[in-house]
Amino acid sequence: MKTIYKKTKIHFLYYIVALLAILTGLFKDFIILSLLIFIHEMGHVLMALYHSWDINKIIILPFGGLTIFKEHLNKPLKEEFMILIMGPLFQTLFYLLAFYLKPNDLLTNYHYALLLFNMLPIIPLDGSKLVNLISNLFFSFKVSHLMVIYLSILFLGGILLYNLNNLIIFLVFSFLIIKVIWEYKYHNYIFNKFLVERFIYKFKFRKTKVIKGLKLSKMFRDYNHDFIVGNKLYKEEEVLKQRFDKSKDL
């Protein structure tokens, strides 16, 4: 746990919102929300540790936490889902216990507000990760990533149609806009990282998909791939080797 403590960082927005809460007499509200955020993020962290995921850092924001991993993009979907779901589950269990011991309207309001906000399909909220996991069951890695980006833009656009005259809400959605722009800007880099991992580490999965042509953009998570080019069938390793080793031709 000492290692986790050292990896935990407080975002500067957290301090700004804390100051605003003190100045506006809402410090009690801020403490309750912060406690829910901490419990929520610990759910993600503990399940990640259970699956031996390498945690890079944990960022505490005024509206939630952000756990960043030093892990492959090709980690099993099942593991990522378990890590994702444990955040809301820990928060809910804590809320039910705390409310049972001492009912509190503020706790109830912030619990449901945080859950609802966090499930918005906007990068990097849990809702966007859930959409990405589900889409990866039906679509390729590349398509799934683009779907989440475009869905994030759509929801942000809808929210920005309203007048964001609250400073805290403005700061929160400014942060989200920056994250979505970053994800869009580095989409090709992220896709190439997905391919490079498959080339270097040669993952083996239980299921295999057949792709017609050398269309790497159709590669899925949790699948091996066979490529049909003309009348020949090539293994994923051969195609990736040709992609990253230009001296090798199919």
Return the structure tokens found at 84: 């994702």
- For residues 98 and 2, state if they share a domain: yes
Of 90, 118, 146, which residue sits at a domain end?
118
- β-strand partners of 68: 57
- What value does the mean pLDDT take over residues 188-210? 94
Lowest average pLDDT, out of 54-63, 102-111, 162-171, 236-245, goes to 162-171
Q: Do the strands 8-10 and 55-61 form a parallel or antiparallel pair, or are they unpaired?
A: parallel
Shared-domain flag, residues 111 and 15: yes
**Per-residue pLDDT band at 168 (split at 50, 70, 90):** confident
Cα–Cα distance measured from residue 117 to residue 105, given in angstroms and rounded to the nearest whole number: 18
Residues 114, 207, single domain; the answer is no
C-alpha–C-alpha distance, residues 63 and 74, integer Å: 29
Do 106 and 218 share a domain, yes or no? no
pLDDT on residue 132: 98
User: In the predicted model, is pLDDT for residue 250 greater than 60?
Assistant: no
Q: Which residue range is the domain that position 230 belongs to? A: 202-244
Tell whether 42 is covered by a domain.
yes
One domain, residues 104 and 217? no
**Is residue 181 one of the residues assigned to a domain?**
no
Annotated active-site residue in 41, 80, 183, 236: 41
pLDDT at 111: 97
Pairing of strands 232-235, 8-10: unpaired
Specify whether 41 is catalytic.
yes
**Tally of structural domains, the chain:** 2
What is the per-residue pLDDT for 246?
Answer: 61
Which of 172, 171, 131 lies closest to 151, judged by CA? 131
Domain membership of residue 65 (yes or no) is: yes
Q: Could you tell me the pLDDT band of residue 80, with boundaries at 50, 70 and 90?
A: very high
113 in the same domain as 218: no
Summarize pLDDT for 207-229 with one digit per residue, the tens. 999 999 999 999 999 999 999 99
With respect to residue 64, please indicate whether it lies within any of the assigned structural domains.
yes
Q: Would residue 133 count as lying in a domain?
A: no
- Give domain status of residue 231, yes or no: yes
Asked if the structure places residue 138 within a domain, the reply is no
Q: Last residue of some domain: 101, 118, 135?
A: 118
Is residue 183 a part of any domain in this protein? Answer: no
pLDDT tens, 84-121?
999 999 999 999 999 999 989 999 999 999 999 999 99
CA distances from 235 to 76, 166, 213 (A): 21, 55, 12
pLDDT grade for 76, boundaries at 50, 70 and 90: very high
Which among 68, 77, 80 has a CA at the least distance from the CA of 41? 68
Last residue of a domain, one of 118, 134, 154: 118
Q: What is the pLDDT of residues 175-191, one digit of tens each?
A: 999 999 999 999 999 99
Give exposure, 203-228, as e/b (b: 16+ Cβ within 10 Å): beeeeebebeeeebebbbbbbbbebe
Please provide the distance, in angstroms rounded to a whole number, between the alpha carbons at the two ends of the chain: 50
